[in-house]
Amino acid sequence: MDLIWDGIREAARLWWAGDREIIEITLRTLAISSSATALALLIGIPLGAVLALRRFWGRGLIVAAVNTGMGMPPVVIGLLVALILWRTGPLGRLDLIYTPTAMVVAQLLLSLPLVVGFSLASIQSVNPRLIGQIWAMGANRWQVLWLLVRETRLGLLAAVMAGFGAAISEVGASMQVGGNLAGETRVLTTATVLETGRGNFEVAIALSLVLVVLAFLVNLALTTVQQRRFVR
Amino acid sequence: MSPQVDAHIAVRDLVVQRGGVTVLEVEALDIPRGQVSALIGPNGAGKSTLLAALQLVLHPARGTLTLDGEPMHADPVRTRRRMAAAFQEALLLNMSVRANVELPLRLRGAPRTRRRELTEYWLERFGIADLASRHAKQLSGGEAQRVSLARAFASQPEVLLLDEPFAGVDAPTREHLIADFAEIVSQTRPTTVLVTHDRDEALRLGDQLALLIDGRVRQVGAPLDVFDRPIDREAASFVGIENILPRASLALAQDAPVGDWLCIRAEQVGLERVGLEGGVGARVLSAKLVSSLMQVELIQDGVTLVAKLPRAAWSQLGVEVGDQVSVRIAPEAIHAIADSRERL
What's the per-residue H, E or C state across chain B? CCCCCCEEEEEEEEEEEECCEEEEEEEEEEEECCCEEEEECCCCCCHHHHHHHHCCCCCCCEEEEEECCEECCCCHHHHHCCEEEEECCCCCCCCEHHHHHHHHHHHCCCCHHHHHHHHHHHHHHCCCHHHCCCEHHHCCHHHHHHHHHHHHHHCCCCEEEEECCCCCCCHHHHHHHHHHHHHHHHHHCCEEEEECCCHHHHHHHCCEEEEEECCEEEEEECHHHHHHCCCCHHHHHHCCCCEEEEHHHCHHHHHCCCCCEEEECHHHCEEECECECCCEEEEEEEEEEECCEEEEEEEECCEEEEEEEEHHHHHHHCCCCCCEEEEECCHHHEEEECHHHCCC
| Residue A67 Cα, gap to closest chain B Cα (Å) | 29
Query: β-strands B21-32, B83-87: how paired?
Result: unpaired
Can you give the pLDDT at residue B340? 62
| Nearest CA-CA partner of B297 in B245, B253, B336, B242 | B242
Q: How far is CA A91 from the centre of its chain?
A: 23
Please spell the DSSP secondary structure of A126-190, one letter per residue.
S-HHHHHHHHHTT--HHHHHHHHHHHTHHHHHHHHHHHHHHHHH--HHHHHHHTT-TTTT--HHH
The radius of gyration of chain A's CA atoms, rounded to the nearest angstrom, is 20
User: Which residues does chain A have within 8 Å of residue B95's beta carbon, measured at their own beta carbons?
Assistant: 150, 230, 232
Q: Do A129 and B161 touch (CB under 8 A)?
A: no
- The answer to whether A62 and A51 have CB atoms below 8 angstroms apart is yes
Minimal-distance CA residue of chain A relative to B78: A138
**Which of A126, A133, A232 is the best substitution to test chain B (most B C-beta atoms within 10 A)?**
A133
Q: CA A178, CA A182: separation in Å to the nearest integer?
A: 10
DSSP state of A192: H
Task: Flag whether residue B128 sits within 8 Å of chain A, measured between CB atoms.
Answer: no
pLDDT, mean of residues B61-73: 93
Q: What is the pLDDT of residues B104-125, one digit of tens each?
A: 999 999 999 999 999 999 999 9
Of A127, A129, A138, the CB nearest to B81: A138
Q: In Å, how far is A177's CA from the nearest CA of chain B?
A: 43
A94-147 pLDDT, tens digit per residue, is: 888 889 999 999 999 999 999 999 999 999 999 999 999 999 999 999 999 999
**Span B60-72, average pLDDT:** 93
Collapsing DSSP states into helix, strand and coil, what is residue A19?
coil
Q: What is the pTM of this model?
A: 0.80
- Give the containing element (helix H, strand E) for A44: helix A20-53
User: d(Cα A82, Cα A102) in Å, to the nearest integer?
Assistant: 8
In this prediction, residue B344 has a pLDDT band, given cuts at 50, 70 and 90, of very low
Residue of A nearest to B92 (CA): A130
Beta bridge partners, B334, equal B264
Of the given ranges (A108-122, A197-211, B225-239), which has the lowest mean pLDDT? A197-211
Q: Which of B77, B83, B94 sits opposite A151 (nearest CB)?
A: B94
Distance between B155 CA and the closest CA of chain A, angstroms: 9
- Residue of chain B whose alpha carbon sits nearest to that of A140: B77
Residue B276 has pLDDT above 70, yes or no: no
Question: Does A127 sit within 8 Å of B91, measured CB to CB?
Answer: yes
Contacts of B154 in chain A (CB under 8 A): none
Whether residue B87 and residue A129 make contact (CB cut-off 8 A), yes or no, is: yes
Whether residue B99 lies within 8 A of chain A, CB to CB, comes out as: yes
**Chain A nearest-CA residue for B77:** A138
Residue B80: which of A138, A150, A230 has the nearest Cβ? A138
B22 contacts: CB under 8 Å, gap ≥ 6: B15, B16, B61, B215
**Yes or no, beta carbons of A138 and B104 under 8 Å apart:** yes
- Residue of chain A minimizing CA distance to B161: A136
**How confident is residue B148, by pLDDT bands cut at 50, 70 and 90?**
very high
Least confident of A124-128, B179-183, B337-341: B337-341
pLDDT at position A232, please? Answer: 43
Contact A137 B89 (CB under 8 A): no
Residues of chain A with Cβ-Cβ distance to B80 below 8 Å are 135-138
CA gap B339, B244 in Å, rounded: 13
Average pLDDT of chain A, as a whole number: 88
Predicted confidence (pLDDT) per residue in A38-59, tens digit: 999 999 999 999 999 888 999 9
Answer yes or no: do A136 and B84 touch at CB < 8 A: yes
8 Å CB contact of A135 and B55: yes
The answer to whether ipTM exceeds 0.95 is no
Q: What is the pLDDT of residue B67?
A: 95
Segment B155-181 shows an average pLDDT of 89
Chain B residue numbers with beta carbons less than 8 Å from the beta carbon of A133 are 85, 87, 91
In angstroms, what separates the C-alpha of B92 from chain A's closest C-alpha? 8
What confidence score (pLDDT) does residue A4 get?
Answer: 80
Q: Is B205 on the interface with A (CB under 8 A)?
A: no
Q: Give the confidence band of A1 by pLDDT, cuts at 50, 70, 90.
A: low
Residue A230 has what pLDDT? 46
Examine the pLDDT at B130 and tell me if it is beyond 90. Answer: yes
pLDDT at res. B4: 59
What gap in Å lies between CA A67 and CA A113, rounded to an integer?
Answer: 7
Interface residue B181 vs chain A (CB under 8 A): no
Residue B190 pLDDT > 50:
yes
Is the Cα torsion angle A42, A47, A52, A53 positive or negative in sign? positive
- Spatial strand order of the sheet with B334-337 comes to B243-246, B261-264, B334-337
Dihedral sign for Cα atoms in the order A133, A159, A104, A80: negative
Closest CA to B41 of B203, B195, B243, B206: B195
CA distance B307 to B291: 13
Identify all chain B residues contacting A132, using CB atoms and an 8 Å cutoff: 52, 55, 57
B339 confidence band (pLDDT: 50, 70, 90) = confident
Distance from the B28 Cα atom to the nearest Cα atom in chain A, whole angstroms: 24
Nearest-Cα residue of chain B relative to residue A130: B91
The shortest C-alpha distance from B172 to chain A (Å) reads: 26
In this model, does residue B8 exceed pLDDT 80? yes
Provide, as residue numbers in chain B, all residues whose Cβ is less than 8 Å from the Cβ of A140: 77, 107
Bridge partners, residue B283, by sequence: B299, B324
Q: Work out the mean pLDDT of chain B and round it to a whole number.
A: 89
Between A129, A138, A140, which is nearest B89 by CB?
A129
In this complex, do B91 and A133 lie within 8 Å of one another by their Cβ atoms? yes
Of B57, B96, B103, the CB nearest to A132: B57
Main-chain dihedrals φ then ψ at residue B210, nearest 5 degrees: -120, 125
Residue of B nearest to A142 (CA): B107
Q: Supply the DSSP symbol for A199.
A: T
- Minimum distance, in Å, between the CA of residue A52 and any CA atom of chain B: 17
Cβ atoms of A159 and A118 within 8 Å: the answer is yes
In A, minimum Cα distance to B136 occurs at A230
What pLDDT score was predicted for residue A140? 93
Please compute the mean of the pLDDT values over residues B84-94 and round it to a whole number. 92
Q: Do A140 and B94 touch (CB under 8 A)?
A: no
Instruction: Indicate whether B253 pLDDT > 90.
Output: no
CA B122 – CA B128 distance, rounded (Å): 9
Q: Choose among A132, A138, A230: nearest Cβ to B107.
A: A138
Cα separation, B191 vs B54, whole angstroms: 13
Q: pLDDT tens, B191-214?
A: 999 999 888 899 999 999 999 999
- In the predicted structure, residue A9 carries a pLDDT above the cut 50: yes
Residue A231: the pLDDT is 44
pLDDT surpassing 60 at residue B2: no
Distance from C-alpha of A224 to C-alpha of B254, rounded to nearest angstrom = 81
